[in-house]
Amino acid sequence: MEKAYILLSCEIGTENDLAKQLREIPEIKVVTITYGEYDIVFEAETRNTEEMDKLITSKIRKLAKIRTTITLRVTI
């Protein structure tokens, strides 16, 4: 299993909409809106590295209004 925490910075005022969209993605387990440099922190789980790469590049980074992401991969 692959697990990652992803820090996301988005356009001002889009946090709630993006959090809602992220919660609809099955691989994303926990979504938290934060304050500071990053607007949303969420946890993702996939079966393997290839699925995690696909999740990040094909599902998450293609969402509108995202400025930047930082992915922190976790060893389980």
Going residue by residue through the chain, which has 76 residues, state the pLDDT in tens, using 9 for 90 and above.
999 999 999 999 999 999 999 999 999 999 999 999 999 999 999 999 999 999 999 999 999 999 999 999 998 7
How high is the pLDDT of residue 75? 81
- As beta bridge partners, residue 19 has none
Query: Alpha-carbon distance 2 to 16, whole Å?
Result: 26
Give the CATH number, domain containing residue 15.
3.30.70.920
- Determine the structural domain holding residue 30 and report its residue range: 2-74
- Whole-structure pTM value: 0.92
How high is the pLDDT of residue 60? 96
Q: What is the domain count for the chain? A: 1
How high is the pLDDT of residue 12? 96
Half-sphere exposure (Cβ direction) of 55: Cα atoms closer than 13 Å: 25
